[in-house]
Chains A and B, each alone.
Chain A
Amino acid sequence: MKVEITVNGEHTSHDVEPRTLLAHYLRENLGLKATNIGCDTTSCGACTVLVDGEAVKSCTVLAVQADQQTVTTMEGLDGAAKGELGHPVTKAFRQEHGLQCGFCTPGMVMAAVSLIEENPDLTEKDVREGLEGNLCRCTGYHNIVRAVLVAAGKDPDAAQAAEAVSDERTTAPGFSTGEGDK
């Protein structure tokens, strides 16, 4: 079946089997390998891309479901195709060291782009809940959360300190709560 999908602003068209997953269309038909396939079970979020501006897990969307729609991968963020960090979210991930091995990063970044688009006035709790569909096995999330706060124009130290106060009742004794009352 022929599909026509606008990917990162460019018209693409391929004849695909209906069972082709969007993640496979992006990686194999188009050669866009930023989108990683991690768990392949809608759990880890590594394959997150935007469909018509909203984050989805491309391992659980058929390419035919995206026919005549617009898809954005991490390569489609400002400057990313040339290896530059021109987008506020990618810049913030670099500034806050929001990655270690990098496997989850494209999914984290695309989930963050969608999250900030839907709620520009994010708190730390909003970020943690908003990234619940993305797993990172290296970082412990701390710097990823800071990066998303920075990308949303927030002061991550202030946001984490506010969260530490509001979270006092539910935080285990001795558990790090960021910068505390600094």
Chain B
Amino acid sequence: MIPVGFDYQRPESLDAALALLAEHGEDATVLAGGHSLLPVMKLRLAAPEIVIDIGRLAELNYIRVDGDEVAIGAGTRYRDIVISDVLAKECALLPAVTRTVGDPQVRHRGTLGGALAHGDPAGDLPAAILALEGTIVLRSPRGERKVPITEFYTGVFSSVKEPDELLVEIRVPRTGATGWAYEKFTRRSNDWAIVAVAVVTAPDGARRIGLVNMGSTPLRAKATEAALAEGKSIEEAAALAAEGTEPPADNAGTPEYRRHLVTVLTRRALQTAAG
């Protein structure tokens, strides 16, 4: 399969990339690792006129502690997140989730910013960042704005990001090395999650729960979180995990199956996170 022809640009700096994006807007698509974009271009579900390759911009490739958060450049590859000493200590949920994305070859190419901008509701990382209550940093020649992940997604593959904006950074709180879990249910090791549940302990001690593939966007298990806050047991709280979700139907399972599965995975994840 070969994509529709396009014009390829590889700007040498972030500013040059932003200028190109501002000039071409909706005709342009940003390429980083290409492991979400190229498959849809090969299937001709996407046919951008211009592809702007930001994959080599060193300005977007970093992981560093910044106050009470960890700042991660949008171009940071999965592999670099998995092996990051900073994240292992400061936000260990993220490398653990990232280790389950695709396979080693995919993790050598794919980027955190790419996964979040793509916004697949079956993707691991949007729900993990949601559980972390991370912040998305968007930049355009008009300036920079920070959007809480809770306000970022508007639907399947869609977000509040404007066509001239580039996702440049992801910020997550320093939730530490413990108190987290990721339960991902797949039929094959490198597959998309049928359902997955990310649990993290917030700096204030509350448990936050992100759900993968339980709706058109990543979701929080709000009823479960509230029940835990009221002092309910893990078993009682986990039984509420499907409340407010609208899981999809596909070959891997019915919505009813997913509603059941999410309660099981939430219970397991909460038990693991409790240590």
Contacts and interface: CB of A to CB of B under 8 A. Distances in A.
Interface of A: 1, 17-19, 21, 24, 40-43, 45, 48, 51, 54-57, 60-62, 64-65, 67, 111, 114-115, 118, 129-130, 132-134
Given A40-B1, A114-B104, A18 B109 contact: no
A35 to B, nearest CB: 13
A17 B34 contact: no
Given A45-B105, A65-B53, A114-B104, 9 more contacts: A40-B42, A42-B102, A56-B109, A60-B39, A61-B34, A62-B8, A62-B34, A111-B104, A133-B103
Contacts of B190: 43, 132-133
Contact of A133 (B6, B8, B10, B102): B102
B5 A19 contact: yes
Contacts of B38: 60-62
B109 A61 contact: yes
A57 B53 contact: no
B189 A129 contact: yes
Interface in B78-127: 79, 102-106, 108-109
A168 to B, nearest CB: 20
Contacts of A48: 105
Contacts, number: 79
Given A18-B8, A133-B190, A65 B34 contact: yes
B6 A19 contact: yes
Interface of B: 1-8, 10, 31, 34-35, 38-39, 41-42, 51, 53, 55, 79, 102-106, 108-109, 189-190
A-B complex: 6 closest residue pairs judged by Cβ atoms: A133-B103, A18-B8, A132-B189, A54-B108, A19-B3, A132-B103
A56 B108 contact: yes
Which of A17, A42, A56 has the largest number of chain B CB atoms within 10 A? A42
A133 B105 contact: yes
Contacts of A18: 5-8, 51
A20 to B, nearest CB: 8
B109 A60 contact: yes
B91 to A, nearest CB: 22
Nearest to A129: B189
A17 to B, nearest CB: 6
A56 B38 CA distance: 14
Contacts of B1: 40-41
A115 B3 CA distance: 30
